[in-house]
A and B are shown apart, each in its own frame.
Chain A
Amino acid sequence: MTRIVVPIGPQHPLLKEPISFLISLDGERVVNSSLRLGYVHRGIEKLAQQRTYVQNVYLIERICGICSHIHTTTYCQAIETLLGLDVPRRGLYIRTLLCELERIHSHLLWLGVLAKNIGLDTIFMYSWRDREIVLKMMEEISGGRVSHAVNIIGGVRIDLDADRLTMLESGLNDLNGRVEELIGTIERDRSFAARTRGIGKLTLEDVKSFCVVGPVARASGLDIDLRRDAPYAAYHELEIEVPVMNEGDVWARSMIRMREILQASRLAKQIIRTLPKGPVSTTAPRKVPPGEVVSRAEAPRGEVFYYLRSNGSQQPERLKIRTPTLTNLITLPEQLKDVQMADVSAVIAGVDLCIACADR
């Protein structure tokens, strides 16, 4: 049979964001694939050089529509390090709380996308329905469902009163029950296993050589998590377990992410119980002393890396952002080798791409 080249993207029902794959098929088997990025490039790194540090917080928030909070967290951390600011503990705790809520929301969204891609619409509908709980919680405390605008340089913008804390606690309890039900379903469902087990395999060596990060790396047996290894915000005061699996396929990735949801909700409850008293932010000067700094954080998809160079003015001289999607994306041609055409959708979903993050 002659080879057929199937274009997937830049617009395709499989993709939620524009990226382009060209997949060469021999019958139903993928023999070769290539990918092209850059359809949502907005030049954010360049834009950041033309705005002040404070304005940039709102620009940075718009890098990603799913993990907006983690970007501002990393950015604010970088500036706070340069300024030598001592952020109040309550501020750090609230920042961490939002990070964990965002992780829950991102992972539930991802489960829906994977389920949709393998034709299991019921799980898609259920997981997105349950995601509404965490979205409502975030809206309640910050005013925004996905763009919260919570972080400011020197702390956070919002404070939590007793009512909100009880609301969060009961919301998390409700969510926990539903997520456990979802996990039970996908763990036992044979048709889900048939479409995810043994697909998109990455060995530990692959993961190390491609510098893969986040849940994809943890699903292949690499025990990394910045929240534990290089704690930022309030993580050094919290108990964190890092789920690790060795299978390295889409199935393991989904299990890792599902366990991370439970873990994130445990962390959020810890934060609610041990929230310290005091102010939530300090005032930060407008000018940042010259110097350079690297700031890292564990986004839902893995390590986010910010490099910031300051020349002592109100505007950064250089801001370099590397998102987890970019590192994980490179493994896709490797993962797509020799899979069936029908599994391409599962493999692409398994990596949890955030194209807007990768293109910036």
Chain B
Amino acid sequence: MNILHMLFEILIFPGFAFVLFTALFFHWLDRKLIARFQGRIGPPWYQPVADLIKLFSKEDILPVGTNEVFATLLPLVSFAFVMTASFYLPFAVPTTQSFEGDIIVVIFLLSMPSLLYFLAGWITSGVYSILGGNRSLLQYFSYEVLFLLAISGTVITSGSWSLAGIRSAQLTSGSYFLPQLLGFFLTVSGLIGKLKRDPYDIPKAKSEMVAGPLTEFSGKKLGLWQLTNQLQTVVGLSFLVHTYFGGYWQMGTVGGFFTFYLLLILLQCLLSAISAIYARFRIDQLIRLNWYALIPLALIHNLFLVLK
């Protein structure tokens, strides 16, 4: 009975299936919101599922000269990394025990898919893939640093390296969202880079790179890459809710569950709005923005938090 219960928790609720459906729902929400911002109608609610079914049933082709083992492993491993991260970031329902330093683990797990994304470009032989991979690596060194610096603001204030610690510190002191508004927006900026959403979609810029590192992927592998990205979006957002909105909801309560989802939806609205508003950055513009403006800002912000 106990094992069955555990399996249920891992595979269905609040584990695998639940997280997947949340990801698909948020992907739909994202597309619908952007469509509405652009004056379009947008897809029906089942569109992400339909897309996934279509991709998974399609023929899977790889060009000659591609390492087949790697091409199969990379999307799988990258999916596994994000899925593991989701277990450390429970969706308002307690799952794993939080421990000191788990925030580092989550950051590591969330940054790995970007590296694998670069490798995906490297192992295929297409010129768009290689260039897109190079770009993703260049981009990696700017937004990842920013994300890490910005998120550490919450660690400094709470004095804890665990997600549970950060949450419980906010329950007594109030959420960090308003007092650390600057840090929050810097984190969001880093997160957009992680997710490679517009305006940071430089590696997969359609008008020059076709689909970047994923150009040569098709069928199941492409479906898995896309699913990874969708999953990464909702896991990233839930990371923000854990670190910046910890005071507004309580783990394990019904009210907490709904507040958590409401916050997730609001954050998704923010991301979609940013996507709709800005033109794609150029890689030099992005790096200049990050290293000359945002990263120093994050450092000053952290210094201010330490001194306070």
Q: Which residues of A contact B (CB under 8 A)?
A: 4-8, 12-14, 25, 28, 115-122, 125-126, 129, 189, 191-192, 194-195, 340-345
Shortest CB-to-CB span from A131 to chain B, Å, is 12
Residues of B within 8 A of A4 (CB): 127, 130-131
Given contacts A121-B38, A194-B279, 6 further A-B contacts (CB under 8 A): A6-B208, A115-B279, A125-B40, A195-B280, A342-B283, A344-B208
With the chains together, A25 CA to B208 CA distance in Å?
A: 12
27 contacts between A and B (CB under 8 A): A5-B127, A6-B131, A13-B207, A116-B207, A117-B207, A118-B207, A118-B279, A118-B280, A119-B198, A120-B278, A120-B279, A120-B280, A121-B198, A122-B38, A122-B276, A125-B38, A125-B39, A191-B277, A191-B278, A194-B279, A195-B282, A340-B282, A340-B283, A340-B284, A342-B205, A342-B208, A343-B282
With the chains together, A339 CA to B300 CA distance in Å?
A: 34
Q: Which residues of B contact A (CB under 8 A)?
A: 34, 37-40, 127-128, 130-131, 135, 198-199, 201-202, 205-208, 210, 276-285
With the chains together, A25 CA to B280 CA distance in Å?
A: 20
Shortest CB-to-CB span from A47 to chain B, Å, is 34
With the chains together, A125 CA to B40 CA distance in Å?
A: 8
Task: Assess the B207–A119 pair: CB atoms within 8 A.
Answer: yes
Shortest CB-to-CB span from A267 to chain B, Å, is 28
With the chains together, A119 CA to B201 CA distance in Å?
A: 9
Shortest CB-to-CB span from A28 to chain B, Å, is 6
Residues of A within 8 A of B37 (CB): 122
Residues of B within 8 A of A195 (CB): 279-280, 282
Task: Assess the B127–A345 pair: CB atoms within 8 A.
Answer: no
Shortest CB-to-CB span from A345 to chain B, Å, is 4
10 smallest beta-carbon distances between A and B, as pairs: A119-B280, A345-B207, A125-B38, A120-B279, A191-B279, A117-B207, A342-B282, A191-B278, A14-B207, A118-B279
Residues of A within 8 A of B38 (CB): 121-122, 125-126
Shortest CB-to-CB span from A119 to chain B, Å, is 3
Residues of A within 8 A of B279 (CB): 115, 118-120, 189, 191-192, 194-195
With the chains together, A118 CA to B280 CA distance in Å?
A: 6
With the chains together, A21 CA to B135 CA distance in Å?
A: 21
Residues of A within 8 A of B208 (CB): 6, 8, 14, 341-342, 344-345
Residues of B within 8 A of A340 (CB): 282-284
Smallest CB gap from A29: residue in B = B284
Residues of B within 8 A of A345 (CB): 205, 207-208
Task: Assess the A28–B283 pair: CB atoms within 8 A.
Answer: yes
Residues of B within 8 A of A13 (CB): 206-207, 210
* Residue from the list B127, B130, B284 in contact with A7, Cβ < 8 A: B127
Task: Assess the A341–B131 pair: CB atoms within 8 A.
Answer: yes
Shortest CB-to-CB span from B26 to chain A, Å, is 19
Shortest CB-to-CB span from A84 to chain B, Å, is 50
Task: Assess the B276–A121 pair: CB atoms within 8 A.
Answer: yes
Residues of A within 8 A of B280 (CB): 118-120, 195, 342
Of B34, B199, B280, B284, which is in contact with the most chain A CB atoms at under 10 Å from its CB? B280
Residues of A within 8 A of B205 (CB): 119, 342, 345
With the chains together, A156 CA to B205 CA distance in Å?
A: 46
Q: Contacts A119-B198, A120-B278, A345-B207 given: A126-B128 contact, CB under 8 Å? A: no
Shortest CB-to-CB span from A164 to chain B, Å, is 27
With the chains together, A5 CA to B128 CA distance in Å?
A: 10
Task: Assess the B207–A126 pair: CB atoms within 8 A.
Answer: no
With the chains together, A163 CA to B128 CA distance in Å?
A: 54
Residues of A within 8 A of B277 (CB): 122, 191
Shortest CB-to-CB span from A344 to chain B, Å, is 6
Shortest CB-to-CB span from A258 to chain B, Å, is 16
Smallest CB gap from A15: residue in B = B207
With the chains together, A125 CA to B276 CA distance in Å?
A: 11
Smallest CB gap from A346: residue in B = B207
Smallest CB gap from A195: residue in B = B279
Shortest CB-to-CB span from A268 to chain B, Å, is 24
With the chains together, A340 CA to B202 CA distance in Å?
A: 13
With the chains together, A51 CA to B158 CA distance in Å?
A: 83
Smallest CB gap from A193: residue in B = B279
Smallest CB gap from A199: residue in B = B282
Q: Contacts A4-B131, A119-B205, A129-B39 given: A12-B210 contact, CB under 8 Å? A: yes
With the chains together, A189 CA to B276 CA distance in Å?
A: 13
With the chains together, A25 CA to B130 CA distance in Å?
A: 13
With the chains together, A6 CA to B135 CA distance in Å?
A: 14
With the chains together, A15 CA to B275 CA distance in Å?
A: 23
With the chains together, A192 CA to B130 CA distance in Å?
A: 27
Smallest CB gap from A8: residue in B = B208
Residues of B within 8 A of A189 (CB): 279
Residues of A within 8 A of B128 (CB): 6
With the chains together, A195 CA to B285 CA distance in Å?
A: 9
Smallest CB gap from A115: residue in B = B279
Shortest CB-to-CB span from A341 to chain B, Å, is 6
Shortest CB-to-CB span from B36 to chain A, Å, is 11
With the chains together, A341 CA to B127 CA distance in Å?
A: 13
Smallest CB gap from B38: residue in A = A125
Shortest CB-to-CB span from A186 to chain B, Å, is 10
Residues of B within 8 A of A194 (CB): 279, 281-282, 285
Residues of A within 8 A of B130 (CB): 4
With the chains together, A212 CA to B86 CA distance in Å?
A: 57
